[in-house]
Amino acid sequence: MAVKHWLIKSEPDVFSIHDLAKAKGRRTNWEGVRNYQARNFLRAMRQGDRCLFYHSNADPPGVAGVVEVVREAHPDPTAWDAKSPYHDPKASPDNPVWSMVDVQLLEVFPREVPLDELRQVKALAGMELLRRGSRLSVTPVTPAEFRAIVKLATSR
């Protein structure tokens, strides 16, 4: 099966690509997604899929690197942990509701590609991230969009 491409967002003051670079095995759970459409995208991810790691709510926001899905969707236990900021009272071990994947760092870009720069690239015009009002934390990316962003990040 062909590798699919995704974009996953994280606020760098909560968890950045640099935090991932310091993590054991440069690996982490992608937990805390609490939007049904984004959750369904997580559930569609397969081992080996590649994700652009996007720093949202940053100054400036932008794409910081690439991670690989190393474990497919499984229940997100933070949903039933009452002490977690991601707690959902509707979720439980018997009814997990929310999912997460595990990702491993492949590359920190030599430079982050800021959102304003992405908006100027004609080949990215249809990208979900650039759609007005789009707030999803997990979105599909076409292979061409993925290649264009990697090229932007590594060509200067």
Cβ-proximal residues to 111 (8 Å cutoff; 6+ apart), any chain: 153, 156
**pLDDT computed for residue 2 by the predictor:** 82
Q: Residue 107 is which amino acid?
A: E
> pTM for this structure?
0.95
The tens place of each residue's pLDDT in the chain, 156 residues long, gives: 688 999 999 999 999 999 999 999 999 999 999 999 999 999 999 999 999 999 999 999 999 999 999 999 999 999 999 999 999 999 999 999 999 999 999 999 999 999 999 999 999 999 999 988 888 999 999 999 999 999 999 986
Closest CA to 4 of 63, 75, 52: 52
Number of domains in the chain: 1
**pLDDT computed for residue 1 by the predictor:** 67
Closest CA to 138 of 61, 66, 46, 34: 34
Cα first-last separation, the chain: 33
Half-sphere exposure (Cβ direction) of 32: Cα atoms closer than 13 Å: 14
- What letters, b where the CB count within 10 A reaches 16 and e where it falls short, cover 90-103? ebeeeebebbbbbb
| CATH code, domain with 32 | 3.10.590.10
Compute the distance between CA of residue 44 and CA of residue 138 in angstroms, rounded to an integer: 11
**pLDDT computed for residue 81 by the predictor:** 93
Domain that holds residue 57: 5-154
